[in-house]
Amino acid sequence: MSDVGRLLWVSLPGPDLTAADREFLERVDPLGVVIFRENVRNAAQVKSLIEEIRSVPGSPRLLAVDQEGGRVARLSDGVPALPAMKILGAQPEREIEEAGFSLGEALHRLGFDVDFAPVLDVDSNPQNPIIGDRAFSSDPEEAGVKALAFARGLLRAGILPCGKHFPGHGDTSLDSHVALPVVDAPLSLLEARELVPFRMAIEREIPLMMTAHVVYPSIDKAVPATLSRAVVTGILREKLNYGGLVLSDDLLMAAVARGGVVEAALASIDAGCDGLLVLKSQSQALAVADRLEEILRGEPGRLAPALERVSRWWSHWRGGR
């Protein structure tokens, strides 16, 4: 596979790296590999697995995990057991930063590079089935301050934080893993509430941002944020001037996969995303990689902006490591 692998983030099916997994990683050559619970027995095994993944020939790659605390924690051995962010968010800013640092140190020892945290969503809908206590606060300013304290702790420990889920998943009443949520709030409310923590994170140059599989009709009536050029390029990149790496949430989630995972991946790239998360399906990841390879040969200009952003990002955040 050529450079298109730099646009892909994938996962593996089990706790041991098989010959088939090695072949898959060599063929796709992804920028990122995401570790899930099915990859975990204990801390020593995870550390060994990560070392094996790094030993597979190919370009340098990032190892990532969803380790927020509370109900979103893929690891239980070798890392501090953090409470839900809503509980942690009640603590002083310095204590939250230290919690992020302690977690970051543990993740760094295991060999990770990226934590898909902190949640920058505002806990704006008490009936939200997917965010809720994962958010630091129902107050936009406090949510931003507390989330960024956590991010600082991760960065101090050598772990790259990823803010999520742009432009805000806190006001949904559906779970985008199984349905397509819609946030009908007017743009003025989104700007005064949902966008506040993201704006703060962008001002502090958070290195990674993950999009939401949510429709915001006041910005784009047709498609969810991940697939929307109006959201990713128009709002995130141009209006808010974000210069970091923009990742899609998992493209196998029902909110975007119903039209086909390959189609969702291409729409994400066209929207302005740099990283395509195609998780828990090697066949789908290969299908996306093959289609991107075709596009690179036939219309390379379509992928050039994302590939250039990835290259610049790598030089800035990982070039000296």
* pLDDT tens digits, 152-170: 999 999 999 999 999 999 8
| Per-residue pLDDT, 174 | 66
Q: Could you read off the pLDDT of 255-280 as tens digits, one per residue?
A: 899 899 999 999 999 999 999 999 99
HEC-encoded secondary structure of 289-312: HHHHHHHHHHCHHHCHHHHHHHHH
Q: Could you read off the pLDDT of 223-267 as tens digits, one per residue?
A: 999 999 999 999 999 999 999 999 999 999 988 998 999 999 999
Catalytic residue among 21, 249, 250, 274: 249
Which residue type occupies 169? H
Q: Could you read off the pLDDT of 293-305 as tens digits, one per residue?
A: 999 999 999 999 9
Starting at the edge strand found earlier in the chain, the sheet holding 208-211 runs 245-247, 208-211, 160-166, 114-115, 62-65, 32-35, 8-11, 276-277
| Per-residue pLDDT, 146 | 98
Residue 249 is a catalytic residue: yes
The domain limits of the chain are: 3-317
Q: Cite the DSSP H helix spans in the chain.
A: 19-28, 43-55, 85-88, 93-110, 140-156, 187-192, 195-203, 229, 254-257, 261-271, 282-298, 304-317
- Which CATH number describes the domain made up of 3-317? 3.20.20.300
The CB density around residue 40, as the number of other CB atoms within 10 Å, is 18
Tell me the C-alpha distance between 39 and 251, whole Å.
20
| Per-residue pLDDT, 129 | 79
Closest to 143 in 3D by CA, of 152, 134, 153: 134
Closest to 109 in 3D by CA, of 129, 84, 79, 87: 79
What whole-number percentage of the chain has pLDDT above 90?
Answer: 90
Only one residue has tokens 């941002």, namely 209
| Per-residue pLDDT, 175 | 66
Q: Residues 210-223: what's their mean pLDDT?
A: 95
Tokens of residue 260, six digits: 């086909």
Contacts of 278 (CB under 8 A, 6+ apart): 8, 9, 10, 250, 251, 252, 261, 265, 284, 285, 288
Whether the predicted pLDDT of 320 surpasses 80: no
Catalytic residue among 108, 139, 175, 177: 177
Tokens of residue 109, six digits: 């020892």
| Per-residue pLDDT, 2 | 65
Q: Residues 34-54: what's their mean pLDDT?
A: 98
